[in-house]
Amino acid sequence: VTSPDTLDFGFDVPARPGMTEAEVLTPALVLDLAAFERNLGKMQDRADAAGMKLRPHGKMHKSPWVAERQLAFGATGICCQKVSEAEAFVRAGVLDVLVSNEVRQPAMLDRLARLARGAKVALCVDDPGGVEAAATAAFRQDATLRLLVEVDVGAGRCGVQTPDEAVALADMIRQSEGLRFAGIQAYHGAAQHLPDAATRKEAIASAAARLKPVLAALKAAGIPCPVVTGAGTGTFAHEAASGLWTELQCGSYAFMDADYTRAIGPEFEQALFVLTGVMSAPVPGRAVCDAGLKSLAVDSGLPLVSGVECVVYEGASDEHGTLSDPARQLKPGDKLRLIPGHCDPTVNLHDWIVGLRRGKVERLIRVAARGKSW
Ligand code: PLP
Ligand code: MN
């Protein structure tokens, strides 16, 4: 891997270690490393206190360096959503990955099976064809794949609907050479960002009510289920309290975003920002910055302006952000931090995360799995 030091500042990279924050080229993704580390410690403590494993979701950061920090804080491995993401992590030395998703393209199952020759690799299935396809790939590549049966616990997305289906798939996996039954995937995606705490709690109570008979049916069939994995930043306390889940998959807690803080409050600190520069202040009350849709995801709302009162990010176009600035505080050349609405798709727009500590650039963090979506 090429060291960032040999890369061209201003073309390949937006910063160099030792620079001040004001010297970072904009727009750039910046990470407050101290806040990030406090978030990692807090979530690991929560998992430890519940006697659970933490397998943070790497789809959020797509960065092997961040995954290594999470492992150093005590995580058991990482999740990713796509085979190409898993490859980016394993190539960088992260050797325990769960693709928390169904995979059906034979060529991608072959790649995953090849990866499993040098790492612990798991994926999800929710139908017999998925088990067959995984077994075929494992056979072709002379590898072992770990399979989790995904149960739909209320998100209405992937996953089997009944305990009988779950048992039948687990059975089929156990009888397939090259496959191991690794447990149950039970993630309630639709519950995570619900704005009301009581509604999130109810959603996980109902997820637990769907999960319980599945675990009972496996037990009755004499099938050991070593792992029950799921949960995200919005609901993990409820999965932890249920006694049913064994592993947490939270992702956003490490960086956070405006939408999550609106929903769950300030327990985890905002560590990720888009640093933007003011390009123009053409009329009183309006400033224009250099971070638009190509550096910020707006699916969960426009970004918030951090640290400056009365300035509001009001509109995003491809390369511009329009700011209302009634007190005329901003002038061209100023830099300010924006809090993205949604961290995952924002990170995927950037090649680098600039790690900051005490106002200085400490390191450049490569978003190695950026754009790895297949
Ligand atoms: N697990 C799965 C399967 C997910 O799809 C996601 C995110 O969408 C997560 C865990 C992590 O969730 P969050 O970023 O809300 O913590
Ligand atoms: Mn997300």
Phi-psi region of 307 (alpha: psi -120 to 50; beta: other; left: phi over 0): left
pTM: 0.97
Q: Whose CA is nearest to atom 5 of ligand 1?
A: 189
* Cis amide bond preceding 106, omega within 30: no
* Residue 184 confidence (pLDDT): 99
Dist CA 320 CA 309 (whole Å): 21
* Residue 6 confidence (pLDDT): 81
* Residue 277 confidence (pLDDT): 98
> Is the pLDDT reported for residue 48 higher than 60?
yes
> Is the pLDDT reported for residue 2 higher than 80?
no
pLDDT band at residue 4 using 50, 70 and 90 as cut-offs: low
CA of 344 to the centre of ligand 2 (A): 5
Q: CA 116, 107, 145: angle at the middle one, nearest 5? A: 25
235 lines ligand 1 (CB under 6 A): no
229 lines ligand 1 (CB under 6 A): no
Phi, psi of 102 (to 5 degrees): -80, 145
Q: How many CB atoms lie within 10 A of CB 9?
A: 14
* Contact indicator for 291, 301 with CB cutoff of 8 Å: no
* Contact indicator for 31, 63 with CB cutoff of 8 Å: no
How far apart, in Å, are the Cα atoms of 220 and each of 27, 136, 163, 166, 215?
A: 56, 29, 11, 12, 9
252 lines ligand 1 (CB under 6 A): yes
* b/e map 289-312, b = 16+ CB within 10 Å: bbbbeebbbbebebbbbeeeeebe
pLDDT band at residue 1 using 50, 70 and 90 as cut-offs: low
> Is the pLDDT reported for residue 67 higher than 60?
yes
> What pLDDT, in 10s, does the model give residues 120-136?
999 999 999 999 999 99
249 lines ligand 1 (CB under 6 A): yes
* Residue 91 confidence (pLDDT): 97
> What pLDDT, in 10s, does the model give residues 310-364?
999 999 999 999 999 999 999 999 999 999 999 999 999 999 999 999 999 999 9
* Contact indicator for 325, 310 with CB cutoff of 8 Å: yes
Span 279-299, average pLDDT:
98
Residue 38: both structure tokens together: 């406090």
How far apart, in Å, are the Cα atoms of 211 and each of 150, 204, 230, 248, 261?
A: 10, 10, 11, 15, 28
> Is the pLDDT reported for residue 100 higher than 70?
yes
Span 286-292, average pLDDT:
98
> What pLDDT, in 10s, does the model give residues 143-198?
999 999 999 999 999 999 999 999 999 999 999 999 999 999 999 999 999 999 99
> What pLDDT, in 10s, does the model give residues 227-261?
999 999 999 999 999 999 999 999 999 999 999 99
* Residue 11 confidence (pLDDT): 96
CA of 343 to the centre of ligand 2 (A): 6
100 lines ligand 1 (CB under 6 A): yes
> Is the pLDDT reported for residue 5 higher than 70?
no
* Contact indicator for 227, 208 with CB cutoff of 8 Å: no
How far apart, in Å, are the Cα atoms of 268 and each of 29, 188, 250?
A: 19, 20, 12
347 three-class SS = helix
What does pLDDT average to over the chain? 97
Q: Which of 40, 43, 55, 59 to mutate to test the pocket of ligand 1 (most atoms within 8 A of CB)?
A: 59
Nearest ligand, measured from the Cα of 297? 2
Which amino acid is residue 104, in one-letter code?
Answer: R
Span 48-65, average pLDDT:
98
Which amino acid is residue 19, in one-letter code?
Answer: M
181 lines ligand 1 (CB under 6 A): no
300 lines ligand 1 (CB under 6 A): no
Dist CA 228 CA 156 (whole Å): 19
- Measured from the Cα of 185, ligand 1's closest atom is 3
Dist CA 146 CA 180 (whole Å): 5
* Residue 341 confidence (pLDDT): 98
CA of 277 to the centre of ligand 1 (A): 31
Quote the percentage of the chain above a pLDDT of 90: 98
* Contact indicator for 46, 237 with CB cutoff of 8 Å: yes
Q: Whose CA is nearest to atom 4 of ligand 1?
A: 189
CA of 264 to the centre of ligand 2 (A): 14
> Is the pLDDT reported for residue 34 higher than 60?
yes
* Residue 312 confidence (pLDDT): 98
